[in-house]
Amino acid sequence: MSQTFYTKDHEYIRVESDVGVVGVSAYAQKALGDIVFVALPQPGASFARGEETAMVESVKAAADIFAPVSGEVLAVNWALEKAPGLVTEDPEGRGWLFRLRVKDAQELSSLMDADAYCAWLATLD
């Protein structure tokens, strides 16, 4: 069974065992608008929690994507190179950015679950 966590920078990580799927939350996508370009990390690259891993560019702005936890990139969603709009259409589904082998599962405790993230988003409006 997978569990999804969120950062205050609006990244999500959907974790099953020691692998997480990383992307931008629906809230972030809505704030950015239509995504027109995505820069992805290379498979095999390692990142510490909070390090810049990728970038999405929309018609409004560019946004850096930060590693929600430390780990190694196992795979990237190469479909986004030709169809960055997948992030716009389905940010927490087909618009995922990369898969990450989680180095330290304890880091997940610093993230918000879906309920906490929704409650936190309500404080931003």
**What is the set of domains in the chain, with CATH numbers?**
3-122 (2.40.50.100)
Please say if the pLDDT value at position 1 is more than 80. no
Please say if the pLDDT value at position 94 is more than 90. yes
Cβ neighbours of residue 93 under 8 Å, at least 6 residues apart? none
User: Can you spell out the DSSP letters for 73-89?
Assistant: EEEE-THHHH-THHHHH
User: So what's the pLDDT on residue 117?
Assistant: 96
User: So what's the pLDDT on residue 64?
Assistant: 96
Q: How confident is the model at residue 87 (pLDDT cuts 50, 70, 90)?
A: very high
Give percent of the chain with pLDDT exceeding 90.
95
User: So what's the pLDDT on residue 30?
Assistant: 93
Closest CA to 41 of 57, 28, 22, 18: 22
User: So what's the pLDDT on residue 2?
Assistant: 79
Return the higher-pLDDT residue of 70 and 124: 70
Mean pLDDT computed over 25-38: 95
C-beta of residue 5 within 8 angstroms of C-beta of residue 111? yes
Radius of gyration for the alpha carbons in the chain, expressed in angstroms and rounded: 13
Please say if the pLDDT value at position 125 is more than 90. no
pTM of the entire predicted model: 0.95
Beta strands in 1-125 (DSSP E): 3-6, 11-16, 19-24, 35-39, 46-47, 52-58, 62-66, 71-76, 98-102, 112-113
